[in-house]
Amino acid sequence: MNYQKPFLPDEFDRRVLDVKKRMEKAGFDLLICQDPANMGWLTGFDSWSFYTPQAVMVHLKEDMPFWFGRPIDAKSAHITTNLPAGNIVSFSETLVHHPDDHPFDELSDLITSKGWGSDRIGVELDTHYYTARAHQHLVRGLPNAKITNNRELVNWARLVKSEAELVYMREAGRIISKTMREAIAKLKPGVREYEVIADVYRNQVLGVDGKFGDYTGLCPLIQVGEGTSTPHLTWSDQPLPKSGLVVMELGAARRHYTTPLTRTVHIGKPPEEVSRLAAVIVEGGDVALEAAKPGVTVEDVAAVFQSILKRNGYSKDSRVGYSIGIAYPPDWGERTVSIRAGERTPLQEGMCFHFQSGVWLDDFGAAISEPFVVTPKGGERFCDVERRLIVID
């Protein structure tokens, strides 16, 4: 099969070596990863198989990781990764949705057979796909091991992007810029919300200049009228009004590297209160991106934005951004750094964020967000969609 792997082997080798150093520092011999983004980042594994138990294991004494999963998905590991055949291990098919037994019973047996049954093992207690049942079977199957939460160890290793990763982030930025512009052009009175989103999906996948798009970690979000006072509504069959506010948060992914983008549109002449809120959000976001330089803490970036809001009589209790990169459903955030008060992480060149500057009031809201990478000159935008309240006459 002519499958084009996203990175050269030395990129994965570098990542695994970095993770091993972090494991040693944290006191782990073995890491068990079920987050599909972490599995992909460590090995290149890419298959819609994360609805069943699967894992990538990294051991300090092994040169390469191990993949463990369902038999029908093992071929995906052979196709998408550089792992040797001996490092691709399947569990018994009869364990799929078994009422009593579990694939991690056999994972425990595999770990024991390797002589790792008494190891210090780090698991991803807060990942979406590591279930309570999986943990229960692992603990029961490895009574001599010390199994503890690895506290998103691999997620933190992903935080600073390599130049090879930034290529995909920038390509995703071009895709979402085109997708957003075409979605905005579709916003006309009488057009139904689902018709707008149908075009979004088409453009997300078609990509730009022959660079196709992957499925994104989050589905397209659209809010209309009073619905703009909350950020995570999806589409309906309602026609767009003759006059009213529309907010769209869309994303694009290139080899699963994702750039989200939000824009606020008003059909017809906007009320003064809408124009004013949008202008403040734009001003605050611009100043925040200027401040996003290496060495600056993320709480300082948040404070810059919050000061602009406060000066104009607004407030925002939720975070104003989060780290982004490789992503799988149900989220496109990395679940590490949030741009908010109290977050003391210093910025480093190559970190990528979605600056989500949305402000949601009782009756309406507005958001003009921006994905960016930290550079010595500040936050470099991945997108080129104009930063303003967009008015459709």
pLDDT in tens, 160-202: 999 999 999 999 999 999 999 999 999 999 999 999 999 999 9
Alpha-carbon span 232 to 220, nearest angstrom: 9
Alpha-carbon span 220 to 100, nearest angstrom: 38
Q: Is 222 left (phi over 0), alpha (psi -120 to 50) or beta?
A: beta
Given a cut of 80, is residue 1 above it in pLDDT? no
CATH of domain 9-157: 3.40.350.10
Alpha-carbon span 217 to 230, nearest angstrom: 20
Alpha-carbon span 262 to 354, nearest angstrom: 10
At 261-308, the pLDDT tens digits run 999 999 999 999 999 999 999 999 999 999 999 999 999 999 999 999
Which residues belong to CATH 3.90.230.10 in the chain? 163-392
What average pLDDT does the segment 211-230 reach? 98
Where are the strands (E) in 200-320, listed by range?
A: 221-224, 244-254, 257-267
Which residues belong to CATH 3.40.350.10 in the chain? 9-157
Answer yes or no: are the C-beta atoms of 355 and 332 closer than 8 Å: no
At 98-147, the pLDDT tens digits run 999 999 999 999 999 999 999 999 999 999 999 999 999 999 999 999 99
At 299-345, the pLDDT tens digits run 999 999 999 999 999 999 999 999 999 999 999 999 999 999 999 99
Residue % of the chain over a pLDDT of 70: 100
Tell me which residue has tokens 């002519």: 2
Tell me which residue has tokens 């741009």: 339
The answer, yes or no, to whether the previous bond of 376 is cis (omega within 30 of 0) is: no
**What pLDDT is stored for residue 26 in this prediction?**
98
The mean pLDDT value of the chain amounts to 98
Report the C-alpha dihedral over residues 22, 26, 29, 30, rounded to 10 degrees: -70
Residue 75 CB contacts under 8 Å (≥ 6 apart), including other chains: none
2: confidence class by pLDDT, cuts 50, 70, 90? confident
Question: Which residue type, as a one-letter code, is found at position 74?
Answer: A
Cα distances from 142 to residues 116, 145, 203, in angstroms, run 9, 5, 48
Tell the CATH topology of 163-392.
Creatine Amidinohydrolase (3.90.230)
Residue % of the chain over a pLDDT of 90: 99
